[in-house]
Structure 1
Amino acid sequence: MDAMRRWRRSNWFVPVVSGFLILASLSIEHLLGGSANIAIGPRWWVHAGAHVHGSGDVFTLANAFMFVASVVAGYGIVVKAFRALMVRFISIDLLVAIAAIGATIIGNFWEAAAVTFLFAIGHALEAGTMNKTRSALAALVAVAPDNAVVLRDGDQVEVPAGQVRPGEIVLVKSGAKVPVDGQVVSGTGAIDESSITGESIPAEKAASDHVFAGTISRGGFLQVMATGIGADTTLARIIHRVEEAQDAKAKTQAFIDRFSKWYTPAVMILALLAGLLTGDVVLALTLLVIGCPGALVISIPVAIVAGIGRSARNGILIKGGEYLETTAKISAVAVDKTGTLTEGRPVLTDVVVLQRDLLRRDVLRWAAAAEAGSEHPLARPLIDAAREEGVAPEGIPGAVTPVTGKGISAAVANRRVLVGNIPLLEEYDVVVESTAVAAVNTLASEGKTPMIVAVDDAVIGIVAVADAIREDASKMIRRLSANGVKKVVMLTGDTRLVAEAIGRATGIHEIHASLLPEDKLDAVAQLQNEGYVVAMVGDGVNDAPALATADIGVAMGAAGSAVAVETADIALMGDNLLKLPEAIRLARRTVNIMRQNIAIALITVILLLVGVFSGGVTMSVGMLVHEGSVLIVILNAMRLLRNSRNDTATSNTERSARNVVEASARSK
């Protein structure tokens, strides 16, 4: 009973029933030759049917089946057309409804049935395809965990995932889905995070690492403290974002929608004029059918949904159709250095002592004591190194004054300590000797970030930190160039010597160094003034002004970051630079398919119009060709869901690496 109810509600119920009735009509006509006659309806209708079908002055049983087929297939079309008219919108359904009703009135039952049947098939195909192109969203929903095993009063208790309480310990066993966002408190394991980041290689997890709901354990045993549950998980935010993105319209789609509002009435006027001038009602009705812009209307949304869905499956969240189109036009990419081109985990590399009566640990102690009150990313490696060498700062400094783009001033043990670059010391009227300047330049030319340490008015030494360049940074730049990006620009607050060292190692095209946040904004605006469509990649904090100014703002490593997922135009869920050129490539493929679909739709309508006026296209043939064009447009868009050759090569490499990781996990 339930199966029958589901079948009746399916998209294919109406086309199948209508098609069965059409086959029954054709079978009766063939087997009985139209001899099974019944008198149904008013005499004018009977005579009209007889005139068209040559079956005497009676309404045949074959015609009856054909009429019922047109009613079954056309009822929903007429209802949709009527509802659209109620809100003053002339829809495609109205064209088909008028044509089918007109064909029935003149007794052309075959044409009425064929037109409505084919249009119903088109609707079913469109609905099925949209569901198919939303497969990435369906896959995300499918990985949402149902249950969780939690520790309560020392016992393992299985509860629905949504009933886990923040702070509870969740047990994640091999092969199980992670039910919550959380932090590992004990254990080790390999977690398949492909549903979140698009990376197929399992990530090794240990204490203090973060895990995400919907990911899968491929080995090991973890105890996880729950921090995000239900709608507060990264997976839930991704699903919400993809839903919104797939429904958002691109500029081209908005144009097509406006075009169809004028196009559809124009087709109706053309059909009316053709009927009045030629006296041929069938010609007018045929024009209504072949003028349906169905393929044109579906050409954009089906491509957008497929493109955004495919991107989401690869760990790339694009905000909507408009941003997808803009991404396809990107011609310049601006990137921050720290955390983007580099790992974002700087370590102390050098301590240069510039006063004879001091030791290395003295310089490090003063620098770490001042940085204890700083939130700058370079503060952490100094404090960590000081702790390892036994000179960790005690407590926090007194007055702390961050100087944007220069460094920090702090009060430590009633002494003023400056840690930063040469402009910082000049601002505080501290003299920097030539030996210090030479040391700074040497360290910077090696790709390290030097910071001068001054106590009161005397320079006592230099500390330098370095951030390892990402292995895939140079590959990203090459791939961006291969995907049509003309210029890749580094925007950094670091010194020019450091920036140039990173630039040489990565092959960056242009370098802007020693920038303040507002300078980065100006640099992005300058690129736009030069005619570039600019994407800005940054961490969303000191890069916020530039991200907002750029045509496309890109957030990297957005897994777990609610702000990045919701606000970035593109969020790269994995901490993988190569996702950026992949996003641009997918966007360009999508836009190319959109253009191909528009061309297919317009060419089909033009050829059909020529065929109608030349007398070679009937109403049913016109609808058949029209629905064929819809199918071609759909199949063309669905190519986006298939892996390209580049994707296949990459996935094969990743699959091999994943097998190695899994084998390693099993051996443990």
Structure 2
Amino acid sequence: MKATVAGPQAYLEHTIERRSDDLLKHLLHPADAEVWVERGGVEVLISAREVRVGDTVIAATGTVIPVDGTVLGGEALVNEATMTGESVPVIRRRGDPALSGTLVEEGRIRIYAEKVGHHAAAARIADFVEQSLNVKSHTQLEASQLADRLVPMVLGLSAGTWAVSRDWNRVAAVLQADYSCALKLATPVAFKSSMYRAGKTGMLVKGAGALERLAEADTVVFDKTGTLTCGELEVTDSIAFDAAFTSEDLINLAASVEEHYFHPLAIAVVEAAERLPHQQHFNHKEVEFIVAHGVASVIDDKRIVVGSRHFLEEHEGIAIAPQTQVIESLKRQGKTLLYIGFGGGLLGVLGLKDRLRHNSADTVARLRGLGIERIYMLTGDHEDRAGEMAALLGLDGYHAELLPEDKARILQELSAQGARIAFVGDDINDAPALSGAHVGIAMHQGAEIARLAADITLLEDDIARVADARALALSTRGLIDSNFRLTVGLNTAILSAAAFGWLSPVAASLLHNGSTIAILLRALSGGARVVSAGQSSNQAPGDQHGKPDLKQEVRHKIG
């Protein structure tokens, strides 16, 4: 009987909670099955599996880099968010490192392959996930164990009753009051009910063990990009170095040429211009795109260039040094800078930052109120940006400029110190941490591998759901504990009454089954409700998406 009940349930829970290792590895394979390599001075297309250490791999626009290595030549703008968490694409040129699993957004580079196949970063993540899933054992419910021990106890009690009373009615009443099935049923029903409620409120919980471990957690560790932040840049500073131009003029000028460019920085500038109180479009000639640097055009017979410092200094010969003090100040604040040159001189600079979710601080505060003792942040982003954000949110600590294996290592160190960690992430680089943590929570818009590796997946792009999940887990644990006490208390009383001959077999059966049904109904409908703070939280000042009003946020600084 025990095997009949436990077998299918264990199989279904295991299937829901974890996918096969083959699927996990498949999801981490490079998007391209074939790779261009340079052999004997000739570029040839080969299978990704045939790439060897020492090969020169060609990665062009739209290509996912298939190996770890060093750039030999060329120049490209590479989006490394999936591996480092860095929200801004980086320029890669000769001598720079190249990571597998990252995307070439623009340009073309030649890469010396140093780690290929299972040794590349993306494959190492897959192996780490596989090991973590194998190590994490299935949580055994105490109620089921107690129920198994209860059966011989009841049989012993019935034998004792017969020995003392020689009354078969008493024996029958005792057997009717056996409540091992009630113990086995009440806890799973409560868990399944809570999992159903979780789905209704925007959370997919992959098994009872996930809720149980989340209730046990005392430490929450967030990845930064895409969790605490939206993963989208926004303009926070517009600084004109020419008194003839205002901060609004600077944004309008940049947006006029950037509107033809689909780069995260360009999109942020255009969105900033659209929110200005006095939007203006400057007529310009054909826009020139300079790969991995920026854009250039002509307005009023003057050349305008918008891009990186390297672009303006090295390619355009525009002096940046006179404004070093202002620029360094912005960098210390963790800003990403976009330089605008006009008529051969530096007209101004725009400061951009990854936008913090409007309810991140509220979520952190709620988690503390729900018993979380420590809250940390891990990120591949720069130290200065991470430090500022950690201070703003009042976190207990942070680690910046991390590689994927660093995140997993830090979680292992915290776990060795006794921390029970709930990790919240969204990207491929978070998969090892999600699978290796006490409980992993994946964001709604995260990578598929992150959602598969996690124990809980948010169905809405709202970080408040993390606190909702914790509240639900605590509520469920409270419900299960109270149901357990009720089951044991009521049925022990019924069992004792039956043994003393105070109940007939029919009465014992009615009382036992009635109390069991009542407790099951309580498990279905009571205690596991969770109020969704994410739906009631007030948005930060700004538009309906929580973006700030540029009339208030853009500051005009000179010198």
CA offsets, 1:560-613, max 9 Å, x none? x76555443211111112111111101111111111112122223322333234
Amino acid at match of 2:205: I
- Equivalent residue for 1:617? 503
- Equivalent residue for 2:455? 569
C-alpha separation in 2, matches of 1:596 and 1:616:
27
Q: 1:259 to 1:460 in 2, by over 3 A?
A: farther
Q: 1:307 to 1:643 in 2, by over 3 A?
A: closer
- Equivalent residue for 1:201? none
- Equivalent residue for 1:590? 476
- Equivalent residue for 1:475? 362
State the superposition RMSD in angstroms.
4.9
2:521 corresponds to which of 632, 635, 643? 635
SS at match of 2:232: coil
Does the 8 Å CA contact 1:274/1:284 hold for their aligned counterparts?
A: yes
Q: 1:484 to 1:380 in 2, by over 3 A?
A: same
1:292 corresponds to which of 179, 186, 196? 179
Does the 8 Å CA contact 1:260/1:293 hold for their aligned counterparts?
A: yes
C-alpha separation in 1, matches of 2:347 and 2:153:
82
Give matches, 1:195-594, under 5 Å: 251-253=139-141, 255-276=142-163, 278-349=165-236, 381=268, 397=291, 439=326, 441-450=328-337, 464-558=351-445, 565-594=451-480
How far is 1:351 from its partner?
A: 8.0
Q: 1:391 to 1:310 in 2, by over 3 A?
A: farther
SS at match of 1:582: helix
- Equivalent residue for 2:80? none
Q: 1:569 to 1:452 in 2, by over 3 A?
A: farther
C-alpha separation in 2, matches of 1:573 and 1:489:
23
How far is 1:487 from its partner?
A: 1.7
Does the 8 Å CA contact 1:330/1:535 hold for their aligned counterparts?
A: yes
How far is 1:483 from its partner?
A: 0.8
Does the 8 Å CA contact 1:496/1:514 hold for their aligned counterparts?
A: yes
C-alpha separation in 2, matches of 1:580 and 1:383:
32
Q: 1:261 to 1:378 in 2, by over 3 A?
A: farther
Amino acid at match of 1:251: T
SS at match of 1:345: strand
TM-score, normalised to structure 1's length? 0.46
C-alpha separation in 2, matches of 1:625 and 1:528:
46
Does the 8 Å CA contact 1:490/1:512 hold for their aligned counterparts?
A: yes
How far is 1:538 from its partner?
A: 1.9
Gaps of 5+ in 1: 1-83, 92-248, 355-359, 401-408, 413-417, 422-432, 454-458, 655-659, 661-668
Amino acid at match of 1:629: S
C-alpha separation in 2, matches of 1:314 and 1:297:
27
How far is 1:528 from its partner?
A: 2.0
How far is 1:543 from its partner?
A: 2.6
C-alpha separation in 1, matches of 2:413 and 2:347:
40
CA offsets, 1:137-186, max 9 Å, x none? xxxxxxxxxxxxxxxxxxxxxxxxxxxxxxxxxxxxxxxxxxxxxxxxxx
Gaps of 5+ in 2: 7-136, 242-249, 274-280, 297-306, 311-319, 341-345, 539-543, 545-559
Does the 8 Å CA contact 2:198/2:205 hold for their aligned counterparts?
A: yes
Identity of aligned residues (%): 27
Query: Which protein has the bigger helix share?
Result: 1
SS at match of 1:543: helix
C-alpha separation in 1, matches of 2:217 and 2:286:
47
How far is 1:385 from its partner?
A: 9.5
C-alpha separation in 2, matches of 1:652 and 1:349:
27
C-alpha separation in 2, matches of 1:480 and 1:568:
19
C-alpha separation in 1, matches of 2:144 and 2:482:
17
CA offsets, 1:502-558, max 9 Å, x none? 234333332322333333223322332232221222222333332232222222234
How far is 1:486 from its partner?
A: 1.3
CA offsets, 1:472-511, max 9 Å, x none? 1111111111111112212223333322332343333323
- Bigger radius of gyration among the two: 1
Give matches, 1:128-147, under 5 Å: none
Q: 1:521 to 1:461 in 2, by over 3 A?
A: farther
SS at match of 1:466: strand
How far is 1:652 from its partner?
A: 8.1
Aligned residues: 373
C-alpha separation in 2, matches of 1:332 and 1:618:
52
Does the 8 Å CA contact 2:335/2:352 hold for their aligned counterparts?
A: yes
Does the 8 Å CA contact 1:310/1:640 hold for their aligned counterparts?
A: no
Amino acid at match of 1:499: A
C-alpha separation in 2, matches of 1:496 and 1:392:
39
C-alpha separation in 2, matches of 1:552 and 1:379:
38
How far is 1:347 from its partner?
A: 3.1
Q: 1:286 to 1:481 in 2, by over 3 A?
A: same
Q: 1:447 to 1:525 in 2, by over 3 A?
A: same
Q: 1:633 to 1:576 in 2, by over 3 A?
A: same
C-alpha separation in 2, matches of 1:349 and 1:90:
59
C-alpha separation in 2, matches of 1:636 and 1:489:
37
Q: 1:468 to 1:510 in 2, by over 3 A?
A: same
1:608 aligned to 2:515? no
Q: 1:392 to 1:534 in 2, by over 3 A?
A: farther
CA offsets, 1:401-434, max 9 Å, x none? xxxxxxxx99x9xxxxx9699xxxxxxxxxxx99
Task: Identify the range of structure 1 (310-319 vs 467-476) with the bigger mean alpha-carbon deviation.
Answer: 467-476
Query: Which protein has the bigger strand share?
Result: 2
- Equivalent residue for 1:25? none
C-alpha separation in 1, matches of 2:231 and 2:405:
22
TM-score, normalised to structure 2's length? 0.54
C-alpha separation in 1, matches of 2:219 and 2:451:
23
Does the 8 Å CA contact 1:589/1:640 hold for their aligned counterparts?
A: no
